[in-house]
Amino acid sequence: MQNPYQTLEKNEVMALGNSLREIKTQLVKQPSQTGIRRVWYQGEEPYFDIIFELEEEEITWFEFTLRGKSASWDRRKKVWQTGMTNELQMHDVSFYAASKTIETDKLIDVEFLAVVKSILQTRSQEPIFAQVLQLLPVLPAEG
């Protein structure tokens, strides 16, 4: 199966980044811990969203999903993970947005992380996106 991310053109990356809109916080379930808040961005394309969890404006957790793939980072683990979501599978549960599950890849998908980085870079002027870009690992193609 061909990797769908190898064919992303620069204009498509720009369109994906530009399509991201912050969802009103009252629609996002907030953590029960005080001082922690979630910020959710959703793109125009189905199954494209980004969730940040912040403590005192510092990212503590991050998840990026696009076209059935996921990339996430957790401050406690300080490691990136990639995986597949169930969003593109057709069964009754998948029609309920909150039912998304993620199966972690055995090896990190560096090609997908490169796509994540390129989309995030389209919004690098915004502090939250600049902050998550600093958390991304150096990818093989970058040396």
Residue-wise pLDDT tens digits, 22-65:
987 765 566 667 788 889 999 998 889 999 999 999 999 999 99
Backbone φ/ψ region at 56: left (φ over 0), alpha (ψ -120 to 50), beta? left
| Domains in the chain: boundaries | 10-137
Rounded CA gap, 81 and 52, in Å?
15
Pick the range with the lowest mean pLDDT from 2-16, 66-80, 94-108, 124-138.
Answer: 94-108
Q: In the Cβ-directed half-sphere of 93, how many Cα atoms lie within 13 Å?
A: 7
- Residues 77-81, mean pLDDT to the nearest whole number: 91
